[in-house]
Structure 1
Amino acid sequence: MQEVDFDVLARTIWAEARGEGVAGQVAVGLCIRNRVEADLGHDGKPDWWGEGYVGVCKAPWQFSCWNKNDPNYACLIGAKPIPAAEYARAREAAAVAITSKEPDLTGGATHYYSTTMASPPKWTGHPAKRTVKIGRHVFFKDVP
């Protein structure tokens, strides 16, 4: 893994889950890792949600923090600083998510949403199975 992949993963974890505990931040990282490792069509072809950590994190409309209208975007692209201690914590969560050999605490999730949203997103109605709630995030995996 290149440093740019690790950095983008850590920035995404920071923006999506900085208010969560360690488990919540690692869970977001695991969800991203699950997307990176998935082969949606079992065909070896690129998946619609991107390839690799940078591609998955920055795929349009997948992780809202990378949308240009998101208030976190300026920090993600370096126009504003991320507080050093918060970024270091997100990097630690990213390292655990990438290297963990423990069972996936998200149950193989590839999607999540924050319970702070007014209502669950529309995609929760597609064939997806809720796997777990960790902190303020509810995790789902696709059902074949």
Structure 2
Amino acid sequence: MSVLHVWMRSAVALTLLSGAAFADVTVSQSNDPTANLGGQLSALLGAERNALGTVPAHRLEQVATAVVRPEKSPRLRKSVEKPALRYDEDWLASQPVAAKGSDEWKCLATALYFEARGESIQGQFAVAEVIMNRVDRPGYPGSICGVVHQGGQFSYTFDGKPETIHEKGAFQRAGKIAALMLAGAPRQLTQGATHFHTRAVRPGWAHRFPRTATIGGHLFYRQPGGS
């Protein structure tokens, strides 16, 4: 910003002061002010002080400070400071218990319970990422329940065993993770993985899909192609 623009904005601020109004004045710092800017401002403010004899000196100094060193808005700082997602027991325990939610929440929580309840918090979030990634990917059902119940994909849905939840604490934890994922938690663990399997098996597609992560007892892969 040129010295002329700084002079004009300072003059506007000082004019408002003469009417008993005080306005915050800021100047973009993207371009470094010239070395003699301070001196020119001092001369300018001295002239304005003579013209506006009723303006207290400390008010003029506030204007000069605002022009040369604008402060960031505390409200703006607060708006961009968001708590980061953490993958540990203490942090997850501090999150509110998910009340009985939508069918999508139930499908995701149930899938995490049966497919990954023995995994760490990070491992369960990773499995949730796979399900959410499939929902967003062409070629898969466009809903969580559709993805989970797609034929032959998640073993608990076709192993012939009843889907009975015996471990209430484990399901509560899975429910919290499901709620966080539905609320838009970042998917930052598996690099867009669409598949996973345990270390105990080696499905035919595993040698064709690039592996993206290994977390706990699961290996994660991303299906080639698509978006």
TM-score (norm 2): 0.52
- Check if 1:133 corresponds to 2:224: no
Query: Whose helix proportion is higher, 1 or 2?
Result: 2
Picking from 145, 162, 171, the partner of 1:54 is: 145
Larger relative contact order, structure 1 or 2 (CA cutoff 8 Å, min sep 6): 1
Question: In structure 2, what is the Cα distance between the partners aligned to 1:28 and 1:81?
Answer: 18
Q: Counterpart of 1:137 in structure 2: which amino acid?
A: H
Shift of 1:124: 1.1
Deviation per CA, 1:58-111: give whole Å up to 9, x if none.
000011111142x4xx12xxxx33321111011112123333443521110000
Q: Counterpart of 2:177 in structure 1: which amino acid?
A: A
Question: In structure 1, what is the Cα distance between the partners aligned to 2:155 and 2:187?
Answer: 27
Percent identity at matched positions?
30
Query: Whose strand proportion is higher, 1 or 2?
Result: 1
Residue number in structure 1 paired with 2:156: 65
Q: Is the 8 A contact 2:129 2:187 kept in 1?
A: no
Q: Secondary structure at the match of 1:138?
A: strand
Picking from 87, 107, 114, the partner of 1:8 is: 107
Q: Is the 8 A contact 2:197 2:218 kept in 1?
A: yes
Question: In structure 1, what is the Cα distance between the partners aligned to 2:155 and 2:143?
Answer: 18
Compare CA radii of gyration and give the structure with the larger one.
2
Picking from 27, 31, 35, the partner of 2:130 is: 31
Instruction: Structure 2: state its 5+ residue gaps.
Output: 1-100
Q: Counterpart of 1:136 in structure 2: which amino acid?
A: G
Instruction: Structure 1: state its 5+ residue gaps.
Output: 40-46
Aligned structure 1 segments of 4 or more residues deviating by more than 6 angstroms: none
